[in-house]
Each structure stands twice: as structure tokens, then as C-alpha cells.
Amino acid sequence: MPSDAFAVLDAIPRETIPAAIAWLAARAMVPAEAFGDDELLTPDETARLLKADRRYVYRHADKLGVVRLSPRKLRFRKRAVLRRVESGR
């Protein structure tokens, strides 16, 4: 790991360390090729992309390519969301 990566880790505010650990653990469980250059979106960003409300995004999270960082913290794979839009479902 490059030494500047440790500097980035050291810069994480203490109160956000648990969320950062959860995110890294979730990322480690997904094969690297699944991530590629795919962007992870927040529920609000996903809702804007779908032109829907947040409740829709949370209700359909499993169909939208969800990555669960913790029970209450979700991210969505942009490519999966765009595929759903293109398929018309």
C-alpha cells in the first residue's frame, strides 16, 4: 500500500471511522472486477437519477444494485441503476 494511502486513512475524522470500516468491508466482499470503474451513488443521487423519491429507492434497493455499508447506510451501483432505467422496469 502506498504511504500516501495511509495519510488518507489518518485524515479520516474519528467519528466517521466506523462508517469507513463498514464501507471497506463491504467493498472487500465484492470481487474487484465487479467494481471496475463503477460509481457508488447515495440514495438521494439514485433517486434523482431515477426521477423517483427516496422511499422508492429504499423499497427497491435489492433490485437496484445495492451495496449495504451497514444496516442503515446504502450505496447503489450506478451501472446497475442505469441498466434498470434502460430496461424500462
| Unique residue bearing C-alpha cell 467519528 | 15
- For the stretch 38-82, pLDDT in tens is 789 999 999 999 999 999 999 999 889 899 988 889 999 998 898
Residue 81's φ and ψ, nearest 5 degrees, are -65, -45
Check residue 52 and give its pLDDT. 93
Instruction: Quote the cell numbers at residue 49.
Output: 437519477
Average pLDDT over residues 2-21: 86
CA 81, distance to chain mean position in Å, is 11
Residue 30 CB partners (closer than 8 Å, separation 6+): 67
For residues 88 and 80, the model is more confident at: 80
| CB atoms closer than 10 angstroms to residue 19 | 13
Q: Quick one: which of 39, 51, 47, 44 has its CA closest to 77?
A: 39
